[in-house]
Amino acid sequence: MGNSSHNGSPVQSVDRAVTVLEILARAGEAGVTEIAAELGVHKSTAFRLVTALENRGLVAQNVDRGKYRLGVGILRLAGATTARLDLVQESRPVCEALAREVGETINIAVLADGEALYVDQVAGPSALQTRNWVGQRLALHATSNGKVLLAYLAPHLLAECLARPLERYTDHTLVDAVRLEAELVDTRARGYATTVDELEIGLTAVAAPVRNLDGAVVAAVSASGPSFRLTPLRVPEVAEAVRRCADEVSRRLGAS
């Protein structure tokens, strides 16, 4: 493995920890002695690795037999990935059709640590130079996707988000929690959110909620473009198309 893995280096520890997970995935369960033998390390080293993984919920102990198996922490990590992969896979063709229909850039965002994490983007045919938002985390209160994600949050989580100071990006950013909350009520009533010049001047966006099998809002889909094209007159028509797209993605994710 080269010099980076001289004895006890962090890289070697990570490598060994992953190997422990692979052993347990293959064997179903294994004791410290077996794990140590497979890794070619002392039992004390194997025990330290397994304990570290156990502390993070990635490995669990089978108390009666003293053997270890994979823990539910693995499912939590895998679940986050599969949910996002499913979302991107299922939404991509629908978003491509929407981009063609409205001629604007389409984005999908999910909630991540109190921000809108952009997980996929389809550029519209009329986009001059499209910034790639994928992988970016943007403020919930200043983006249409973010407002949708806020609008359907559980009340105590929403209160937490609104209690933080809201950053001002332009003169139009909603930084007053009371005004923002009123807009979230509107969002729920009409089924879509808008931002006009709130994240940056000249940018307008419209977003609608995506629901999963349980009917919970798991993502938002938005169309965004220059404010001179997405005029107040055109927004309702684009919003209708975005809502249809969000509903179709929801159906693909199993929502009724």
Burial (Cβ within 10 Å: 0-12, 13-18, ≥19) of residue 34: middle
pLDDT value at residue 161? 85
**Predicted local confidence at residue 2, as pLDDT:** 43
Residue 225: per-residue pLDDT: 92
For residue 4, what pLDDT is reported?
A: 41
Please report the pLDDT score of residue 83 as a whole number: 63
- Cα(117)–Cα(143) distance, rounded to whole angstroms? 11
CB atoms within 10 A of CB 201: 12
Residue pair 59/51 in contact by the 8 Å Cβ criterion: no
Give CA–CA dist 228/113, Å, rounded: 33
CB-based contacts of 156, cutoff 8 Å, min separation 6: none
Q: Which residues of the chain have pLDDT under 70?
A: 1-8, 76, 78-85, 126-130
pLDDT value of residue 39: 94
Q: What is the pLDDT of residues 117-128, one digit of tens each?
A: 888 888 877 655
Largest CA distance in the chain: 71
Find all residues with CB under 8 Å of 93, minimum gap 6, and list them: none
Using a CB cutoff of 8 Å and minimum separation of 24, what contacts does 27-34 make?
Answer: 28/69, 29/62, 29/65, 29/67, 29/68, 29/69, 30/67, 30/68, 31/65, 31/66, 31/67, 31/68, 32/68
